[in-house]
Amino acid sequence: MVVGADEVEDELLSPAALLAGMPTRRLGRPLVYHRVIDSTNEEARRLAAAGSPEGTLVIAERQTAGRGRRGRQWVAPAGRCLLFSILLRPALPPERLFALTMAAGLAVQGAIIDQLGLAPALKWPNDVYIAGRKAAGILVESAFAGRELEFAVVGIGINVNVRPAELTRAVLGGAADPTLRHLPSTATSLMVEAGRPVSRSALLWDILRHFERWYERILAGESPLEEWKGALLEWGQEVEIEAGGERILGRVVDAAADGALGLALPDGQLRYFYAGEASLRPRPAGAEDNLPESA
């Protein structure tokens, strides 16, 4: 379903309609809807502590304290993004938890392909890019008692119907909406890339459908690793990693089930980096082309 251009600002999500069209068996119920909230992940964590069941979906039109990886602010204009979190209670050991991030990224990618026919890629470790610009981010948080997982929260934020003029003004620092002033210069939206407004409800349903399939496979002992590797934007590319104050050039040739990215270094070594300790950027222009093709 596609909404008309004059409906973009007014297309508030309807909890009743979302539940009526929910295509999943175990995810999306109960549904907790907020017009404004601090963070859907924080609300999901509060609900988890209060005993809410697996599958609880928290969705909001606007967040006042949305965040991404490493505590970065996640900015989204009200009513034109998808901002939601899913509460899960899987029996997974810590080393398998990154499979949820992989599954969420593949679910968003699959839904965008289904709904819009675009070609999104996954930027390590947890973003979704289209044509070189960020359209969505994923944040998975968890709580453990020793090595036993109490719950995990999968948070997803997608720029859906953010308009071109808003993105431009945000980059220039002149956005009328103060929440747009912090949008990164690499941001885009699905409406910008597709050239038309997009139904947030249909997109949400499709993401949940894809994610539930991956989640059931993970619970059955499978891993999304190979599919995730194939979806990575950086796969086979020369990149620069900043880790521990050191800048390292390498070619992306591998990834591990726990999310570590494997780089082939100029000296032939294969070295792995974790998202919590490293930042990734494209290879700087003018760097010597002496990187191995494989490990």
pLDDT tens per residue, range 225-236: 999 999 999 999
Of the pLDDT bands very low, low, confident and very high (cuts 50, 70, 90), residue 119 is: very high
Residue 188 belongs to domain with CATH number: 3.30.930.10
Q: Are residues 16 and 136 in the same domain?
A: yes
Out of 52-61, 93-102, 183-192, 215-224, which region has the weakest mean confidence (pLDDT)? 183-192
pLDDT tens per residue, range 141-182: 999 998 899 999 999 999 999 987 777 554 444 444 444 444
Q: Is the pLDDT of residue 118 over 80?
A: yes
DSSP 3-state assignment of 115? Answer: helix
Quick check: 55 and 87 in contact, CB under 8 A?
yes
Of the pLDDT bands very low, low, confident and very high (cuts 50, 70, 90), residue 67 is: low
Q: Give the pTM.
A: 0.86
Q: Is the pLDDT of residue 243 over 70?
A: yes
Q: Are residues 50 and 127 in the same domain?
A: yes
Q: Are residues 154 and 278 in the same domain?
A: no
For residue 13, the model assigns a pLDDT of: 95
DSSP 3-state assignment of 76? Answer: coil
Q: Is the pLDDT of residue 216 over 70?
A: yes
The whole-chain average pLDDT of the chain stands at 86
For residue 126, the model assigns a pLDDT of: 94
For residue 179, the model assigns a pLDDT of: 45
For residue 185, the model assigns a pLDDT of: 58
Q: Are residues 138 and 254 in the same domain?
A: no
Residues contacting 263, CB < 8 A, separation 6+: 239, 241, 248, 250, 251, 252, 253, 270, 271, 272, 273
Q: Are residues 109 and 32 in the same domain?
A: yes
Q: Are residues 218 and 159 in the same domain?
A: yes
> At CA 155, angle to CA 109 and CA 196, rounded to 5?
45
Average pLDDT of span 100-122? 98
- Tell me what percent of the residues of the chain surpass a pLDDT of 90: 72
Of the pLDDT bands very low, low, confident and very high (cuts 50, 70, 90), residue 65 is: confident
Residue 293 inside a domain? The answer is: no
pLDDT tens per residue, range 15-50: 999 999 999 999 999 999 999 999 999 999 999 999
Give residue 188's domain range: 5-230
